Chain A
Amino acid sequence: MKLKTLFLAGTALAMAGGAATAEDMTLVSWGGAYQASQKAAYADPYVAMHPEVNVIWDESSAEAVAKLRAMNEAGNITWDLVDVVASDAIRLCDEGLAMEIDPDTDLAAAPDGTSASDDFGDLLVSECFIPQIVYSTTFGYRTDVADWGGKEPDDICDVFDLEAFPGKRSLEKRPINNMEWALLCDGVAKEDVYDVLETEEGQDRAFAKLDSIKDNVVWWSAGAETPQLLADSEVVIGSTYNGRLFALIEEQKQPVKMLWDAQVFDLDGWIIPTGLSEERLARVKDFVKFATDTQRLADQAKYISYGPARKSSAPLVGQHASLGIDMAPHMPTDPENAKNTFLYNYEWWADYRDDLDAKFQAWLAQ
């Protein structure tokens, strides 16, 4: 009798639990300051409007591609919306793990009536990708290096100039971006970079250029490493995401400056996994429509120095929420910063990534 009561109570509890989870929505992001900015700009206002929704955050974006594939094979998708970089979105779309969207019906139009597909424009790099921000991979350098005799680097090729700017550099432990920068500084014109990189000789040229600084490079694999290395004076100049450098310079007040020359633009955004149930899909589509409208994207820039992906959001970018400084001059897309930028070619890298990565790793190991 007692056992039966317990059992019934347990069942009731489980059912109550089930009912409570019906409105759960799991968002996957990168953690840290970036996820905090998404929470403040998108999720909190949305939950205020829809108190029945319980937003759960999962900090798995770095392994999102592998985890989504595993979930798909297991037939149990537990994520509703996943934040990934554009190249991962293309891969997930290729694998059939991300859902194709129709920008004009699934995303909100701009306040002046411009359709979403025009407002996002070229940034819709894949049928599955819903862009949020434009970020850039660029360099930061210390301003107190005695050996430099008061000079400061202002050209991407200063990274490769050990005579004028001695000291250690930090670069990302993968071929993407590094190969392009090496060729740019080896005299290849910006528009020819990928044509040259396609050839064996072009790749050798890029490696030869990287060879010239190889002994002075610390290779990073997590975005937080370069800011730490710069703060510790372990390196004097290093590449990382511009938002990380913003935090280092403006929030931690380190003697570091940005070198915006030849910054490489990249995109980050949402994808909706395939295989969601109808209710979950309807809920997440509703959220996405809200979270990627003009005002919400502009709001995110209050918390982090990444540029909104909509053209219509740019004029609305205001001041930092806690520092009270104007954010516009810290955006990678600001005209002053974007004098010389480099566009990352997703489709090219989708082809050459495996091949060049093997060569790059072999080169590193030499």
Chain B
Amino acid sequence: MSDTTSDQVLTTQDGKPLKAALARALRREKLRSFLLIAPLLIFVLITFVAPIIDMLFRSVENEIVSETLPRTVVVLEEWDEASGQAPGEDVYNALLYDLIIAVENKRHTQLGTRLNYEQTGLSSMFRRTGRRVDDFGEVYADQLIDLNAAWKEPVTWATMLATPEWISAQETWAANPSGPEPAFVVSEAARNALPTTADLYGAFARFIQTEDSDSPMEEDPWVPVYKALYQDLIANPDAASAFSGETATLVGQAAAAAPNFETVSIKELFIDADDDWGSAENWAVIKTFAPKFTSGYFLSAADAQLTPTGVELKPEDERIYLYLFYRTLLLSIMITVSCLLLGYPIAFLLAALPLRYSNLLLILVLLPFWTSLLVRTSAWKVLLQQQGVINDFLVWIGIIADANRLVMINNQTGTIIAMTHILLPFMILPLYSVMKTISPSYVRAAKSLGANDWTAFWRVYFPQSIPGIGAGAILVFILSIGYYITPELVGGTSGIFISNRIAFHISSSLNWGLAAALGTLLLVAVLLLFMVYDRIVGIDNVKLG
């Protein structure tokens, strides 16, 4: 029988090969179970994984410098910070064009805040300069207008720099302003002849159209645009040849007069607005943080800093994060151990007692779980403070003198006590559910073979409860690493965790990059510990029930 079927393919009733039919049925089964979990999977991906990745990405993201000062960072490439001298006029020119755009878009203060994380004082440098930059280069505007009043007219500028198609489209729109304005287009000829002017005026026109919803044909250009034109005319005295008609005459006249213009140093204007612009140190910071991605936040999170000469440790009086990481891990381990020491006997009792008593005890374990975290923490304050219940009692029975009341709160002791209490149920419950499954007959068997109580417990019962210890310890440890409300309230200065600083940078200092870097480091530390745990105990040895 067997050898007749072995070389012929088994088929189902309708003639299909059994193997394929089975595989299909299995595939359908798999697809169905996948579809069943799909809503949860999608939910978790969208609401949990994606935001976390986005947040962690902020720890390296640094686009704000190159986006806000695109022209400056390019010119700054050539500046040598080792010279100890502030950069030359061309960098300040580029800065003027970048900054006027940033100021109009209200981006310069944001950049100042970002750079202030690296160098104190840059925040007000950008804010102060931002108030004045809109009249930098006024002397060129005055001279051009004196030369020919046409330079005062918005239309002159638009006609000079735009393509004829845009001008006619804009005129049609102006006659009947329905729908969006046609987007400003710089003409190729203008771009070649007057590159800086075309670039800056293009930014101006876009800003007028999108932010103010006005027409560039009717708005005076920013003052630095005049400076840009002067710069272009000096660089290209023959610029008029690119234009025709009235514009050519106008540009030709300006180009001829430009070399005799009274000039002003933009660099000096900046330094006049804020001395800090003359500092090579500040420029070095801008150059160091120009790339789109930075390791600066991670270095800060490790008490180091990125300087133009490389990575170096922060001054001693600013180092805090590594110490806080160490303290967080140390205190979390202590909290886990004290939870285990307190929780193990309770779980043992719960598992050993008859059901009606153990249920009552279980409710007592869960009761604080249902109380607000803040209420429990405040209760500990009442109990532990120097004029609190415990100290009053100890003084009353005469164990300690009134002058030597114990300090049990606003320090590490307070954090450990309050957090052990709060996290205790997370230890007891997994322990209890594992102990519940240990059959009492093993211990009885050990005892009948001559083991005393301790040996029976240690050699027979305890090894079987290890999966519960593993699960409870991991739960308590990971929860305590991320706690910050309780340490903030009862930890004083010596009992606060790294999470307190993360919370501070998220909600108070708004340095989300640093917060993300600290969070990433914490995540990595936990994963490493998890791996170590897996090596030593084995992750498959963890049971929640």
Contacts and interface: CB of A to CB of B under 8 A. Distances in A.
Interface in A309-366: 347-348, 350-355, 357-359, 361-365
Given A95-B109, A362-B318, A363-B317, A351 B386 contact: no
Contacts of B106: 96
A362 B512 CA distance: 20
A221 B508 CA distance: 12
Contacts of A168: 386
Contacts of A362: 317-320
Interface string B103-140: 00011011011001100111110010000000000000
Interface in A220-257: 221, 232-234
Interface in A47-71: 62-63, 65-66, 69
Contact of A94 (B113, B387, B493, B511): B113
A39 interface: no
A69 B109 CA distance: 15
A354 B387 contact: no
A358 B385 CA distance: 28
B492 interface: yes
Interface residues of B, number: 37
B509 interface: yes
B210 to A, nearest CB: 15
A364 B121 CA distance: 24
A365 B303 CA distance: 14
B510 interface: yes
Classify chain A's interface size. 20 to 34
Contact of B318 (A62, A219, A233, A359): A359
Contacts of B446: none
B487 to A, nearest CB: 11
B323 A354 contact: no
B227 interface: no
Contacts of B386: 168, 234
B117 A96 contact: no
Contact of A350 (B123, B387, B511): B123
Contacts of B511: 354
A353 to B, nearest CB: 7
Given A95-B110, A354-B116, A66 B510 contact: yes
A93 interface: yes
Nearest to A100: B106
A91 interface: yes
B123 A95 contact: no
Contacts of A358: 318, 320
Nearest to B378: A228
A299 B386 CA distance: 41
A125 interface: no
A364 B124 contact: no
B110 A94 contact: yes
B509 A351 contact: no
Interface string B368-394: 000000000000000001111000000
B494 interface: yes
A36 interface: no
A276 interface: no
Contact of A365 (B122, B323, B387, B410): B323
A188 interface: no
A96 B107 contact: yes
Nearest to B121: A351
A91 B492 contact: no
A363 B317 CA distance: 7
B501 interface: yes
A361 B124 CA distance: 23
B506 interface: yes
B168 interface: no
B117 A354 contact: yes
Given A69-B510, A95-B113, A218-B492, A347 B124 contact: yes
B385 A234 contact: yes
A38 to B, nearest CB: 22
B410 A65 contact: no
B526 interface: no
Contact of A234 (B107, B120, B317, B387): B387
A93 B385 CA distance: 42
A280 B484 CA distance: 37
B299 to A, nearest CB: 13
Interface in B121-180: 121-124, 127
Given A95-B113, A353-B509, A364-B493, A359 B317 contact: yes
A136 to B, nearest CB: 21
A20 B318 CA distance: 53
19 contacts: A63-B507, A66-B507, A94-B123, A94-B127, A96-B107, A96-B109, A219-B410, A221-B488, A232-B387, A234-B386, A234-B387, A350-B123, A353-B509, A354-B116, A354-B509, A358-B318, A362-B319, A364-B493, A365-B323
Given A69-B510, A93-B109, A95-B113, 17 more contacts: A65-B510, A66-B506, A66-B508, A94-B123, A168-B386, A232-B388, A350-B123, A350-B127, A351-B122, A351-B124, A354-B117, A354-B120, A358-B320, A359-B318, A361-B320, A362-B317, A364-B493
